A and B are shown apart, each in its own frame.
Chain A
Amino acid sequence: MSAGLVVSGLSVQLGGRAIVDAIEVAAPTGSVTGLIGPNGAGKSTLMRAILGLVAATGSVRFDEADLLTLPRRMRAQFTAFVEQSSDTDARLTAREVVLLGRIPFQSIWDATPSAEDLAQAEAAMAAVDMTAFAGRLYQTLSGGEQQRIQIARALAQQPRLLLLDEPTSHLDVHAQLAMLDLLRRRARAGAAVLVALHDLNLAASFCDSLVLLHAGQVAAAGPPDAVLTPALFRQVYGVEATILRHPGDGRPLIAYDLPG
């Protein structure tokens, strides 16, 4: 019995086409699982399906819970999702956005956030190094700052299952490394982290295992060494690549061969 996320036979049909096609994925507690694959491979849809946000068939279990039939409020008390982009016209401060993550824990009769809510929000903002921005209006933050606030909002949900769709896309390299390090520490502290990444070198450096999606199906899964092979690059991405080794720790580094 492995603790964590176990997805089996999960399918999502949209307009008669299988966007996600009978997928098997595992994301164990304690590790960071990277979801990689070309645009349109079904990464975002798979994440939404795991959280019951789109209609899907199959089975999604987390520890003992069946995520597809669990009441959504209970599900939101231990799972959190960071979308690829998060825009709003609402006039909310960064702290108020982070406090949205406490909605699953609040009753409709609570007039104001509890001390626990405020403490969790402060801790989450500190974790992404955004405490100094707490009082700023969300729209006045840069793309990267907004992304970090969204991650703080997710952390405020105290998730044991954390799903993130391209959380590093607006970050500079320093912030990217800090973010993935944060996710890894969260995982080690007792969470299952499933993160979709475009940057394969980052994925290879930080993820304990990778799941490579191609046309709605799992093309390969396992440790980065097993998934990042020249043959799979050719088959899935249609590019030629050479796998090098980091001189320090020997992790795989991808060097793309130029076309022509």
Chain B
Amino acid sequence: MNRPTLATLVLSLLALLLVSMVLAVTFGPADIAPLEVWQVIGWHLGLLPESPVGRLRDAIIWELRLPRVLAAAVVGAGLALCGAVMQALTRNPLADPYLLGLSSGASLGAVGFLLAGASLLMPLGAFLGAGAAMALTLLITQLLGGATPSRAILAGISVSALAAAATSFLIFWSATGDSYREILSWLMGSLSGVVWPEALLVLAALLLAGLPVLLSGRSLDAFAFGDTAAAALGVDVTRLRWWLLGGTALLTGVLVSIGGAIGFVGLIVPHMARLATGSRHRTLLPVAMLLGASFMVWTDTAARSLFEPRELPVGIITALLGAPIFLLVLLRYRRVT
């Protein structure tokens, strides 16, 4: 099998992502040309002496659309990374932060902190929720008699249902009027109204959690034939698993606190990337991240453009695209469930 080299893949996907992001910024009610986007970025980074566009257009590009497009790219990359890592660690082709209940747990934690009046600490609440949900899912999987993909999914569904019910109850109990609608739209997965500090927060979380994960790619390869085989190749299985699961819980928490529970991206993007690159994680992880970023940029653009002026929660689009692919993966891996 001949496969494209890592450098070729990464460079072309980076180019695709850059073009996607700039084009995504031009989408919307105000007509904006790609060149204007570059000029505004250049001016804000101090590369151009004066603003090339009017103040209003500048605000639309720099304050309204760019942070959102950047956040979409980061959320897509982060979800794809979390999915790929969880699939490798649990040897479960169906693993993904959404299906294993992490996203719902994170939502519960975030909503809990929000309604308690600590909206600044929402990412922390989401992280705690994601970590608790992951622990609970793994525990239930053990109680069901050990890890198989279908048991993990069943455990994830039950944890998801529990967390979702608790979240709904919290909202019912304390939210009113507008905040009710806002929270509901965010719960379905939405990047509406993302501002720079939030975009930079997810970017920081992705870099912080993503770099060590990318470097552990080779150890993840060792898991291909199970824990014993990995240990026989010198991998500290227990420590690596805790580190990486902790890292994915942290990252999922931050992603959910910004974008809500966006499903299926973490499931389908790694599978698409694997078809192109195979399963070596040194190649797979960066490719999945870049692919996830572009995917999310376009789905989020569709979410805010399709029914203008109304906005569709992007989680609905990813679920519409993702659920059928989930079914295909399920059929393909029938024998392991």
| 1/0 contact string of A77-108 vs chain B (CB within 8 Å) | 10111010011111111001100110110101
Say yes or no: B228 contacts A103, CB within 8 Å.
Answer: no
Question: Do A103 and B280 form a contact, CB below 8 Å, given A53-B228, A88-B225, A89-B336?
Answer: no
Tell me the complex Cα distance, A86–B222, Å: 12
> Could you say which of B88, B229, B278, B282 has the most chain A C-beta atoms within 10 Å of its C-beta?
B229
Shortest CB–CB separation between residue B56 and chain A, in angstroms? 46
Q: How many positions in chain A have a CB within 8 Å of any CB in the partner chain?
A: 38
The segment out of A68-76, A166-174, A250-258 that lies at the interface is A68-76
Q: A88 contacts which chain B residues (CB < 8 A)?
A: 91, 224-225
Q: B181 within 8 Å of A by Cβ?
A: no
Shortest CB–CB separation between residue A143 and chain B, in angstroms? 14
The chain B residue sitting closest to A95, CB to CB, is B1
Q: A115 within 8 Å of B by Cβ?
A: no
Q: How many positions in chain B have a CB within 8 Å of any CB in the partner chain?
A: 31
- Provide the main secondary structure of the chain B interface: helix
Say yes or no: B233 contacts A83, CB within 8 Å.
Answer: no
Which residues 96-136 in A have Cβ within 8 Å of B in the complex?
96-97, 100-101, 103-104, 106, 108-112, 135-136
Question: Do A103 and B229 form a contact, CB below 8 Å, given A89-B91, A92-B279, A111-B6?
Answer: no
Tell me the complex Cα distance, A136–B234, Å: 26
Q: B226 contacts which chain A residues (CB < 8 A)?
A: 83, 86
Say yes or no: B278 contacts A51, CB within 8 Å.
Answer: no
| Residues in B lying within 8 Å of A, measured CB to CB | 1-2, 6, 88, 91, 93, 215-216, 218-219, 221-222, 224-226, 228-229, 231-236, 274-275, 278-280, 282, 333, 336
Extra A-B contacts (16), CB below 8 Å, given A74-B234, A92-B280? A48-B228, A51-B231, A51-B232, A72-B236, A75-B234, A76-B233, A83-B228, A88-B224, A90-B224, A91-B274, A91-B279, A97-B224, A103-B218, A103-B219, A111-B282, A136-B1
Can you sample 10 A-B contacts with CB below 8 Å? Answer: A72-B236, A87-B225, A92-B278, A96-B280, A100-B224, A101-B233, A103-B221, A103-B233, A111-B282, A135-B2
